Amino acid sequence: MNLIEFLKDMPVIGILRDIPRGEEEACVKTAASCGLKAIEVTMNTDGAEGIIKELKAAARPYGISVGAGTVRTGGDLERALNTGAEFIVTPNTRNDIIRLSCTAGVPIIPGALTPTEVQKAHDLGATAVKVFPVNCVGGPEYIKALRGPFRDIKLMACGGVNAENVGDYFRAGSNIVSFGGSIFNATLMREKKWDEIGKKLTVLLDAVKAVI
């Protein structure tokens, strides 16, 4: 799958950390109704493998791509690939994980922060590079600074992205953004408040549509 092309019309990935088992279909229906095209389940979520499989089954009719995030070790990657995860996201830059994912033909967005890490991840074959935690090092201004020398590298802003600042991230040069607990809040998911989650998600995605 060409992940960048797939996300062209809505370059946003939603992060599901600690989504409870049994909420997969409700999550997918909410994402689909709002126009979200990609979601990732963090591998440190209890039952992550089963959740990814259930999400994939629920997402198939809606054309939503389901990936695995917080892939930190070779074991995490193996488990993620065995679930059929359609893309991989990591919080850090590890040569072996990037290379193995590329060999498997699965798009990977590794985490990086410094210019050296950004270039390294790109050289290893990253589909895009997740600048994380971007909110701790200047937010949109940091993306703008990276964009100067790295015009050919796809950058995904991650960390503190919300409806108020998402436009700034795209204007600064982000190709993709990702978000998690600000919308897919663990408590709200556990309490099955998908209507509330959907309202928050709609506001964020409307802000994205206004700038892309």
Which residues are tagged catalytic?
A: 40, 130
Q: Rounded distance, CA 182 to CA 189, Å?
A: 12
Burial 41-68 (b: 16+ CB within 10 A, else e): bbbebeebbebbbbbbebbeeeebbbbb
Q: Are strands 38-42 and 176-179 parallel, antiparallel or unpaired?
A: unpaired
Beta carbons within 10 angstroms of residue 116's beta carbon: 10
- Judge if the upstream peptide bond of residue 133 is cis by omega within 30 degrees of 0: yes
